[in-house]
Amino acid sequence: MHLPEHERLIAALTGLVAPGGVLVLGDAVDLTSDRAPDTPYTVAMRAMRQGLRAAIGTDVSWVPSYPRLLRGAGLVRVAAETHVPPLLPGSPISRFRAATWERSRAAMLATGLVDDAAVDAAVRYPDSDECAALSAGMLTVWGRKPEEARG
């Protein structure tokens, strides 16, 4: 849900859930914070994140707040889990990331954080013996809408 107004959207989605029903949402969780060591991968991820924010408003920095937001929307038995696929040569996440960087190259370059050579290095990095980075993950969060009180 890389969408603005996520709190309003969560409230609207919660309103569509029947009593006793479950709302399940997923979003990217970025593990390439400013504290992660600089590698071709982390530098490219930071540039991509900044470029997407400038181009289309993408902001995944709030994603760890999902459980609290679902609880605040009135859901109960809220839980979450994160899946982080490994960056391995030829893995689906490595191929996905390389294709994403190619498609978002212009936005990444516009940030000034990377140049073409840095993007090219990032595309090659997951297939190299030097690769030691965490890929972005997928956070899945869910909560149950309480049953209506019977009178």
- pLDDT value of residue 82: 93
Q: Averaged over 132-148, what is the pLDDT?
A: 89
- pLDDT value of residue 1: 52
How much is the pTM? 0.79
**Structure confidence by residue, pLDDT tens digits, 37-90:** 888 988 998 898 888 888 877 777 788 889 999 999 999 999 999 999 888 888
* CB of 125 closer than 8 Å to CB of 88: no
* CB of 111 closer than 8 Å to CB of 43: no
**What is the number of helices (H) and of strands (E) in the chain?**
6, 3
In angstroms, rounded to a whole number, what is the distance separating the alpha carbons of residues 139 and 137?
6
Q: Which of 79, 50, 55, 83 lies closest to 67 in space, CA to CA?
A: 79
| Model confidence band, residue 148 (pLDDT cutoffs 50, 70, 90) | confident
Greater confidence, 32 or 79?
79
Q: Is 132 left (phi over 0), alpha (psi -120 to 50) or beta?
A: beta
**Structure confidence by residue, pLDDT tens digits, 7-27:** 899 999 999 999 999 999 998
**Structure confidence by residue, pLDDT tens digits, 106-135:** 999 999 999 999 999 999 998 888 887 778
Buried b (16+ CB within 10 A) or exposed e, 86-97: ebeeeeebbeeb
